[in-house]
């Protein structure tokens, strides 16, 4: 679509808006439908021309369109589209212009308040957004929950865990389901799951300063909010092992098998320390084989192979890996098998295996060890809160495939 046609469409849209605004004193059903379609057309026009081709026309439209209960939707629509396009300054101007009016109904004022707060969040002006949202949560029963959800998002981004906990508890104490979303921008995330991780964050801080009592309280709260919180079990296992309660540590770590077996590999290093400290390494091998039978994955295969290598030798570990790779091929398993075979090889065979090992390791470097099951974000390290979508407990180790 060329610029001339774009300007023509915009001119027609503005003309229709002006005409409908003139008729707004006595609205009729057909006119309401026309206004609704007009707003949709304007939003579409902005969305499909992100290059600024119609910016001057939009600014003219906004400055000339009278602000009233009939045109408020148009202002909010334009502001939202501008915010999505990254033009937050212009969105702020539009929404602040709405709030400067004194003749709008309270519900409409609250709606504009919420949009302005979202503008501030997008602009990184979190202190301004926080104050707006706190006021809105007190003043509007309709906008209270959305405001609290945005506040939770702000406090989480600022790592202000006590405030995040307070807001999350307020949300859970409402009449809404405990399975409601974490925030408008994070659909599908349970408030309870997020709350359990907030307590885990405080427990981690307590462990850093050796405050065992506080860490236990926070981890107890985390499991009370979400009994399936793997992170709490891992931290509890770490705490118990540190103070010498090995059996309690094993109990906490083995609980992960029921909570979420995808995280079993994360517990193996601590479990190995626990069983070695009591001289019962064979019990760990039995446990890992049971887990492997139920929830097979490349990390578990490697863990069992390592235990075999330590207890029986390289040959037994290599034989086990060969059998497993037939059913569940993985690059990491192949890399480990090559290392075991190379150590016992000589001459040209050893040189060839070294080259093959180097090639496989390069392929592994290109494959992330962890991936978010919600948004697909991948990385080399486990993040309890996905850097991409901000969901909690969605990043897991790749289970292994021919390409992993």
Please state the domain extents for the chain.
3-173, 190-295, 298-362, 367-404
pLDDT at 155 over 90: yes
Contact of 228 with 262, CB cutoff 8 Å: no
145-159, 222-236, 291-305: lowest mean pLDDT where?
A: 291-305
pLDDT in tens, 164-174: 999 999 998 87
Selected from 2.60.40.420, 1.25.40.10, 3.40.228.10, 3.30.2130.10, the CATH number assigned to the domain covering 3-173 reads: 1.25.40.10
How many Cα neighbours within 13 Å face the side chain of 351?
A: 2
Average model confidence (pLDDT) across the chain: 79
Helix (H) or strand (E) holding 395: strand 395-397
Mean pLDDT, rounded, for 78-95:
79
Q: Band the pLDDT of 56: cuts 50, 70, 90.
A: very low
Helices (H), 182-229: 191-208, 212-225
Per-residue confidence (pLDDT) for residue 43, from 0 to 100: 54
pLDDT at 180 over 50: no
Per-residue confidence (pLDDT) for residue 178, from 0 to 100: 40
Contact of 246 with 240, CB cutoff 8 Å: yes
pLDDT at 52 over 50: no
Per-residue confidence (pLDDT) for residue 68, from 0 to 100: 56
Mean pLDDT, rounded, for 360-374:
83
pLDDT top residue among 217 and 66: 217
Per-residue confidence (pLDDT) for residue 348, from 0 to 100: 86
pLDDT at 263 over 90: yes
Mean pLDDT, rounded, for 105-122:
83
CATH fold group of domain 190-295: 1.25.40
C-alpha span between 370 and 378 (Å, rounded): 6
Q: Band the pLDDT of 54: cuts 50, 70, 90.
A: very low
22-31, 51-60, 89-98, 176-185: lowest mean pLDDT where?
A: 176-185
CA angle at 198 for the pair 241 and 208, rounded to the nearest 5°: 40
């Amino acid at each position: 679509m060329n610029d001339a046609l774009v300007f023509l469409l915009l001119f027609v849209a503005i003309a229709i808006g002006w005409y409908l605004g003139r008729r707004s004193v006595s609205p009729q059903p057909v006119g309401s439908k026309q206004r609704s379609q007009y707003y949709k057309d304007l939003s579409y026009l902005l969305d499909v021309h992100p290059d600024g081709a119609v910016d001057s026309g939009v600014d003219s439209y906004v400055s000339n369109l009278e602000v009233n209960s009939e045109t408020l939707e148009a202002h909010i629509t334009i502001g939202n589209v501008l915010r999505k396009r990254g033009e937050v300054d212009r969105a702020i101007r539009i929404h602040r212009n709405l709030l400067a009016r004194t003749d709008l109904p309270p519900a409409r004022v609250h709606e504009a308040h919420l949009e302005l707060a979202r503008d501030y969040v997008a602009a990184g002006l979190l202190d301004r957004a926080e104050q707006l949202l706190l006021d809105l949560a007190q003043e509007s029963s309709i906008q209270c929950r959305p405001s609290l959800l945005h506040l939770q998002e702000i406090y989480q981004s600022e790592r202000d865990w006590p405030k995040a906990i307070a807001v999350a508890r307020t949300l859970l104490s409402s009449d809404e389901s405990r399975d409601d979303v974490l925030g408008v921008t994070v659909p599908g995330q349970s408030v309870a799951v997020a709350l359990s991780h907030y307590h885990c964050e405080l427990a981690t801080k307590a462990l850093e300063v050796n405050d065992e009592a506080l860490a236990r309280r926070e981890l107890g709260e985390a499991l009370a909010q979400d009994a399936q919180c793997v992170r709490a079990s891992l931290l509890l296992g770490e705490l118990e092992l540190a103070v010498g309660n090995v059996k309690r540590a094993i109990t906490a770590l083995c609980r992960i098998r029921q909570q979420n077996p995808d995280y079993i590999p994360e517990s193996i290093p601590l479990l190995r320390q626990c069983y070695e400290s009591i001289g019962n390494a064979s019990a760990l091998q039995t446990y890992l084989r049971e887990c492997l039978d139920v929830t097979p994955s490349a990390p578990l295969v490697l863990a069992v192979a390592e235990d075999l290598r330590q207890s029986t030798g390289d040959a037994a570990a290599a034989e086990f890996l060969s059998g497993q790779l037939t059913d569940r091929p993985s690059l990491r398993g192949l890399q480990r098998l090559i290392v075991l075979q190379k150590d016992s090889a000589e001459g040209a065979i050893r040189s060839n295996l070294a080259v093959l090992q180097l090639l496989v390791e390069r392929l592994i470097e290109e494959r992330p060890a962890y991936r978010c099951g919600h948004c697909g974000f991948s990385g080399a390290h486990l993040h309890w809160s996905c850097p991409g979508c901000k969901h909690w407990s969605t990043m897991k180790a790749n289970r292994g495939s021919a390409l992993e």
